[in-house]
């Protein structure tokens, strides 16, 4: 029997259409093997949506996403839209999508694949075996807190204001996702905050501690964010699962990503309660290489694997997709961003063809 899934497809900007094009035919190929049929509904987001409608997240796009089983997103943004007012910027579309689907948890794996250990800028002995999952709170904290804005101060100066705020329920639900994620991994959870300075972090730490008794199998630790940044580059193997707020998570997950050496290899999943999840690569729209068949599609393909695993509960198909990625790397195929001596250079399409063969 064939299982049919509705997938909202958001190619966005820059290399987005190239990497999502490859991913669609790879998904169809894996679907055929596992009795899965994907019905894709393409919708506009980011700069492409601004050009067409003036709005980085048209209502129609949000409606399409809400009607689907999962959302596969590529990337948004580009030089062309950098100087628009904030509410019309591509990034505003992305934040709106996360808020509109109430995607409060962002899961970002940073795993060093044995085939790519030498892509890391850190020493082999430091990064070999690194396997970290950063669970970042996504819909609260300083990116959303009020008041915010640029105000005229009494001194005559301007004053820029953002507010870092978390309520009990926001901390509890992200901590729960993190404890449960750690249960599926190596049962270690490190909560990162700045509780020595920030009240909002003190509340974060108190709530995480309060939940810990419900997860006696998890070894919980706490770390200040500045130390966590240091430890990530000094001794990253000490981490299993990390949970942290929106701003700290934004920065630390990028630092964790760079341990692997290539941003073109990293997928992510954003999930909420009940709504479809959004699955997207960590990297941006890479406008510097857009349209040149140079983009690495593997992060997008691995995002599709996360979609199969976390969004559609199809772990066998997810495994197959991930295995195909490992296989093409074993065979020596490399896009420019992960190229090294003796390997076979391929473009975005070439990598897609190699994956198709591996499947």
Say whether 250 is catalytic.
yes
Q: How far is the CB of 78 from ligand NAD (least distance, A)?
A: 5
Residues 6 or more apart whose Cβ sits within 8 Å of residue 167: 140
Q: Which residues of 82-121 are buried (b: 16+ CB within 10 A; e: fewer)?
A: eeeeeeebbebbbbbbbbbbebbbbbbbbbbbebbbebbe
Identify which of residues 241 and 253 has a Cβ nearer to ligand NAD in the complex.
253
Q: Of 44, 57, 75, 211, which lies in the binding site for ligand NAD, with binding defined by CB under 6 A?
A: 75
The answer to whether residues 246 and 137 touch, using CB atoms and an 8 Å cutoff, is yes
For the segment 121-160, give every residue that binds ligand NAD (CB under 6 A): none
With binding defined as CB under 6 A, does residue 284 bind ligand NAD? yes
Binding mask of the shown chain, residues 27 to 66, with x at each position contacting ligand NAD by CB under 6 A: ----------------------------------------
Say whether 80 is catalytic.
no
**Which range touches ligand NAD (CB under 6 A), out of 54-62, 99-107, 292-300, 321-329?**
292-300
User: What's the CA gap between 19 and 23, in Å, rounded?
Assistant: 6
Q: How far is the CB of 10 from ligand NAD (least distance, A)?
A: 10
With binding defined as CB under 6 A, does residue 102 bind ligand NAD? no
User: What's the CA gap between 224 and 48, in Å, rounded?
Assistant: 39
Residue 129 is given by DSSP the state T
With binding defined as CB under 6 A, does residue 264 bind ligand NAD? yes
With binding defined as CB under 6 A, does residue 299 bind ligand NAD? yes
Nearest to 293 by CA among 348, 233, 337, 243: 348
Identify which of residues 206 and 288 has a Cβ nearer to ligand NAD in the complex.
288
Identify which of residues 75 and 354 has a Cβ nearer to ligand NAD in the complex.
75
Residues 6 or more apart whose Cβ sits within 8 Å of residue 233: 122, 255, 259
Query: Residue 295, exposed/middle/buried by CB under 10 A (0-12, 13-18, 19+)?
Result: buried
Query: Residue 220, exposed/middle/buried by CB under 10 A (0-12, 13-18, 19+)?
Result: buried
> What are the residues facing 193 on neighbouring strands?
224
Task: Pick the catalytic residue from 131, 172, 254, 293.
Answer: 254
Q: Of 115, 137, 337, 355, which lies in the binding site for ligand NAD, with binding defined by CB under 6 A?
A: 337
Q: Of 285, 321, 351, 355, which lies in the binding site for ligand NAD, with binding defined by CB under 6 A?
A: 285
Identify which of residues 165 and 255 has a Cβ nearer to ligand NAD in the complex.
255
Q: How far is the CB of 84 from ligand NAD (least distance, A)?
A: 11
The answer to whether residues 321 and 26 touch, using CB atoms and an 8 Å cutoff, is yes
Say whether 194 is catalytic.
yes
Q: Of 17, 53, 91, 350, which lies in the binding site for ligand NAD, with binding defined by CB under 6 A?
A: 91
**Which range touches ligand NAD (CB under 6 A), out of 158-166, 280-288, 316-324, 325-333?**
280-288
Tokens linked to 157 = 């100066």
Q: Which residues are catalytic?
A: 143, 194, 226, 250, 254
Which residues of this protein are in contact with ligand NAD, per CB under 6 A? 15, 75-78, 91, 94, 263-264, 283-289, 295-296, 299, 335, 337
């Amino acid at each position: 029997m064939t299982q049919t899934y509705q997938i909202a497809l958001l190619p966005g900007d820059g290399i987005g259409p190239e990497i999502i094009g490859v991913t669609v035919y790879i998904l169809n190929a894996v679907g055929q093997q596992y009795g899965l049929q994907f019905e894709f509904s393409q919708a506009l987001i980011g700069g492409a949506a601004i050009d067409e409608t003036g709005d980085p997240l048209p209502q129609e796009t949000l409606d399409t996403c809400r009607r689907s089983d999962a959302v596969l997103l590529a990337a948004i943004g580009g030089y062309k839209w950098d100087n628009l007012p904030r509410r019309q910027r591509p990034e505003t579309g992305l934040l709106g999508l996360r808020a509109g689907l109430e995607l409060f948890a962002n899961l970002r794996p940073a795993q060093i694949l044995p085939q790519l250990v030498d892509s890391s800028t850190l020493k082999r002995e430091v990064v070999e075996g690194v396997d970290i999952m950063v669970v970042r709170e996504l819909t609260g904290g300083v990116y959303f807190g009020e008041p915010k804005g640029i105000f005229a101060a009494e001194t005559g100066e301007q004053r820029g204001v953002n507010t870092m705020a978390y309520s009990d329920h926001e901390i509890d639900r992200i901590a729960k996702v993190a404890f449960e994620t750690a249960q599926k991994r190596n049962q270690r959870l490190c909560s990162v905050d700045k509780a020595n300075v920030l009240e909002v972090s003190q509340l974060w730490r108190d709530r995480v501690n309060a939940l810990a008794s419900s997860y006696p199998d998890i070894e919980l630790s706490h770390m200040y964010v500045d130390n966590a940044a240091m430890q990530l580059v000094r001794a990253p193997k000490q981490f299993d699962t990390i949970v942290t707020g929106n701003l700290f998570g934004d920065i630390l997950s990028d630092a964790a990503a760079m341990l692997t050496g290539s941003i073109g290899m990293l997928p992510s999943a954003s999930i909420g309660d009940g709504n479809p999840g959004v699955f997207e690569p960590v990297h941006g729209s890479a406008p510097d290489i857009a349209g040149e068949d140079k983009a690495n599609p593997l992060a997008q393909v691995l995002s599709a694997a996360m979609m199969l695993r976390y969004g559609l509960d199809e772990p066998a198909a997810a495994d197959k997709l991930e295995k195909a990625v490992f296989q093409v790397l074993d065979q020596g195929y490399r896009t420019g961003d992960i190229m090294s001596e003796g390997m076979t250079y391929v473009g975005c399409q070439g990598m897609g063809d190699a994956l198709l063969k591996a499947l």
